[in-house]
Amino acid sequence: MTNLPRAAVIGNPISHSLSPKLHSYWLNRYGLDGEYTAIKVTEDALESTLRDLPKQGFIGANVTIPHKVSVMQFADQITDRATLIGAANTLIFKEDGRIFADNTDGYGFMANLRQSAPDWDPKAGPAAIFGAGGAARAIIVALADAGVPEIIISNRTRPKAEALRADFGARVTVMDWVQADKMLEDANTVINTTSLGMVGGQEFKVSLDSLRPEAVVTDIVYNPLRTPFLEAAQEKGCTTVDGLGMLLHQGVPGFERWFGQRPEVDEATRRAVLE
Ligand code: NAP
């Protein structure tokens, strides 16, 4: 067993994860002792892995699909934002084996938006969100926190969007998927949180004709970096923000807690994970 502080990303599948590249780059950049690996963990093995990792010298972990919700039941302490979102993506293992769970997806989303579109004003108008999955939950919490006055959600499976309205209250309204383009008429912020547009996946087909050129448009899909959704928004004159920065920024709080250094997200960081 190594004595280096160790962290990992756990999920299934896991080979596609960019987190090992990101954290290894930061460890190297700041000259820190440490190790960050990817570990494939099946649902059946989740609890035993979480109990075992601290014994092997792991001080924490990132959590990805499909464990973000199920890890919550094994946590001894959960941050308010993770409780509100109902999922965790960052774990800290205490010396006595207790597990502290946080969710940094909303933080990562917001830090990326603020860094990439510094003139973005959350209070300037409604936000329109395509999708109502796990990432959408984290983003709604972050947008509400930032003071966005109205959040309109449209999801293929409408009851999931209705459930978000029930959880997050009056500021959230729901629009039918067949009318999703109507959300764009007044939207100041537009976000794709569906998996549509991902390499090898289905196309994003909702018309973006009603986009206002003043809108800031972001896609959390980052493979490809320039999705057809972002390309269409750029053609309308909108400021566009890709999803890679969200992934990079969501890693910041975990890295800082585990390795004691707050890392920068900059062009060099982007290049390092894209290599
Ligand atoms: P999820 O919980 O599985 O939600 C998937 C969402 O996509 C749902 O709203 C789903 O609608 C919608 N969707 C899937 N196929 C669709 C289709 N054919 N037509 C219309 N809608 C469709 O996943 P998630 O965790 O929220 O992640 C969503 C995407 O964001 C993934 O591509 C993921 O890689 C990416 N992501 C990126 C970051 C980042 O850091 N940049 C972070 C988290 C996630 P239904 O409810 O109708 O199924």
Domains and CATH numbers, the chain: 6-103+248-274 (3.40.50.10860), 106-242 (3.40.50.720)
DSSP type of residue 251: T
Q: Specify the residue with its C-alpha closest to ligand 1, atom 46.
A: 157
Q: Which residues are catalytic?
A: 68
Amino acid occupying residue 78: I
Confidence (pLDDT) at 1:
59
Q: Of ligand 1's atoms, which has the minimum distance to the CA of residue 160? A: 46
Of residues 69, 71, 6, 60, the one with CA closest to residue 33: 6
Quote the CA–CA distance of 256 and 146 in Å, as a whole number.
23
> What string of pLDDT tens digits covers the 275 residues of the chain?
567 899 999 999 999 999 999 999 999 999 999 999 999 999 999 999 999 999 999 999 999 999 999 999 999 999 999 999 999 999 999 988 899 999 999 999 999 999 999 999 999 999 999 999 999 999 999 999 999 999 999 999 999 999 999 999 889 999 999 999 999 999 999 999 999 999 999 999 999 999 999 999 999 999 999 999 999 999 999 999 999 999 999 999 999 999 999 999 999 999 999 98
Q: How many angstroms does the Cα of residue 138 sit away from the middle of ligand 1? A: 12
In the chain, beta strands by DSSP E: 6-11, 35-40, 58-63, 77-78, 90-93, 99-102, 127-130, 151-154, 172-174, 189-192, 216-219, 239-241
Specify the pLDDT at position 3.
79
Q: Determine the residue of 17, 193, 226, 249 to mutate for testing ligand 1's pocket, defined as the one with the most ligand atoms within 8 A of the Cβ atom.
A: 193
Give the Å distance between the CA of 39 and the centre of ligand 1: 22
Nearest CA to ligand 1 atom 32: 195
Query: Ligand 1 centre from 166 Cα, in Å?
Result: 20
Grouping H, G, I as helix, E, B as strand and the rest as coil, residue 192 is: strand
Alpha carbon distance 144, 17 (integer Å): 29
> Can you read off the two tokens belonging to residue 9?
């990303």
Ligand 1: centre distance to CA 231 (Å): 19
Q: Compute, in angstroms, the gap from residue 33 CA to the centroid of ligand 1.
A: 35
What residues are in contact with ligand 1 under a 6 Å CB criterion? 105, 108, 131-136, 155-157, 160, 193-196, 198, 202, 220-222, 243, 246-247, 250
Which residue(s) pair with 62 in the sheet? 9, 90
CB 66 within 8 Å of CB 16: no
Instruction: Give the pTM.
Output: 0.96
Atom 43 of ligand 1, residue of closest alpha carbon: 135
Q: Which of 1, 7, 4 is nearest to 257 (CA)?
A: 7
| Best probe residue, ligand 1, of 156, 249, 252, 269 (max atoms within 8 Å of C-beta) | 156
Closest by Cα among 83, 101, 212, 216 to 138: 83
Kindly give the number of the ligand 1 atom that is closest to the alpha carbon of 108.
Answer: 40
Angle at the Cα of 172 (from 171 to 178), degrees rounded to 5? Answer: 150
DSSP summary character for residue 182: G
Ligand 1 atom closest to Cα of 156? 47
Chain-centroid distance, C-alpha 192 = 12
Please tell me the distance between residue 105's alpha carbon and the centre of ligand 1 in angstroms: 13
